Structure 1
Amino acid sequence: MTDTMNPFTGGIVGTPRLRKEDPALLTGESRFIDDLHIPGALWIALVRSPYAHARIGAIDASAALATDGVVAVYTGADLEGDWAGPLPCAWPVTDDMKNPPHLPLAVGKANFAGDAVAVVVATSRYAAADGVEGVVVDYEPLEAVVDVRDAASDRLVIHEDCGTNIAYDWELTPDPDGVAAAFENAVHHVIETYVHQRLIPAPMETRGVAVVPAPHNGDMTLYSSTQIPHVLKVMAALTLGVPEQKLRVVAPSVGGGFGCKLNVYAEELVCMTLANRHGVPVRWTETRTEAATSTIQGRAQ
């Protein structure tokens, strides 16, 4: 008879192993982004485009600046000089993949619904959210592309500098001649269109960022609810134009991700930029509404 309680001895495979993360989670000792106590931190909230495609005209922040607790309002044009370049693509698929410039705050044009066009800095997250309501943006709505087939036709190119909506061609057929022969010799051909529905990740903890600058030497510590702290460090250094050793990235306990926290996001760079500008910690926590508009989604193919 097999001993099911101790099937193997002397090795890891097949041997029960105690998980390390469970005790802290079960006793409430795990620390997530919002659990971090950071005295003197400013909070930000983003002004986001309600349009999938629109030119950005004048931005009037006078009402926001008059809101209690609001410290400053910045547009993409205000912060553009603080960045060494646009956000690099963290996961290029091919060597020749087209990577349209993506600044942490849009300049000139919003390219998706939820694209951040301005940021409000305030003494609390609630004051920052109130300030967003006071920012008036003059948008010129443009025709949007919302269908994959329509996008692939290049009838309307969104990123003009790329000249196409197709980022890359990825050939997945290892034996084209064999595939062609299989179709030619097949008794029956079945043609069908399948729709893979859009997927919106919904982790229990939304995305969050906290940046703490060092008081004298220009170093920064970035706390982020991220699944890729090492990649985030490299991408942030490239965008800010600083040596990697000036940045420290910490991923505390993460309340779910489902792949949506495998990207480098604009809010992380905005918080770092403003912490550098103001010389104090800067924080941001994503709302559930933002999680459905500004966090990456999947499928819809």
Structure 2
Amino acid sequence: MPRHLILQLNIALAFAFLCLLLMMISAYSHAQEETKNEVTATLHPTTLSSLNSSGTSRSTSTLKIVSLAPHLTEWAFSLGLGDNLVGVSDYSDFPEKAKDIRRVADFQGADIATIITLEPDLILAWDGGNKPQDIHKLTSMGLNVFSSKVENITDIASEIKRLGALTDTEKQATQLSNHFLNELSVLRREHANPKPSPVFYYSWTSPLMTIGPDAWANQLLNICGAQTLFPDSPVDYPQVALKDVLTRQPRALVAASKSTRAELEVFWREHRSFLKAPLIIVNPDVTSRFSLRLINELKLLCKGIKKNA
């Protein structure tokens, strides 16, 4: 065969292969887009009827819910959905009734197999707390996942409203959220401080660790007109030396602890001639959660800081 014919044949074959390749890429992209749309729909269902595979309306009383974080368990109970919970995470201890519900998640991750057997209509997941691979696996299996992310304290209200809209408890969610925001606004006004009081916030003393400016607890201090004693920390939870705490002279010590005052004071006793800062104790189960109970704990915290700092 003449060389020019061989060359033309090779060009034709290459062109055919290129067309086939482009068709395959187009088909793959279309499939990926369809999958993305399906996952998005799974992650963000908008009504109770969308949680029902039959397409008919479903009452709240028949909804089966799994919660993968303690604060999400609290939200469900706040919205009157406590009886709908068939599985919760470890440390879901409020209200008291939550302690009796089956555990399906812990610090190691979600128990996927158990969750499947419970046949939940809705799974409440914490974006930032639960393992991303667990959330992805649950959604990829076609389960409805409400993925919630809280970065600022006001997000608690907006996320509860979003959950309320999904579960037909919007009226209750709106009332709770508005009350939370109103109380928060009052606290901000009452404790506004152009020069925030330096406060040493800690959970334990061995090692002695505190909070940086971007830590969740510092947002709570800010509401009370205070800030962390270490606003220059490049990390959220730095380990610090006792001598640095003493040198910086905090206006108050805030212990997020379940220990007694007497037990906590033992650590500071020998330094009390130099360190006069009063000790304020807060409940770590509340201050470390995105809970509506934060308001009452904040009132105690702000009162203590204002009185002593």
Which has more strand, going by share of residues?
A: 1
Structure with greater proportional helix content: 2
Q: Which structure is richer in relative contact order (CA contacts within 8 A, separation 6 or more)?
A: 1
Larger radius of gyration: 2
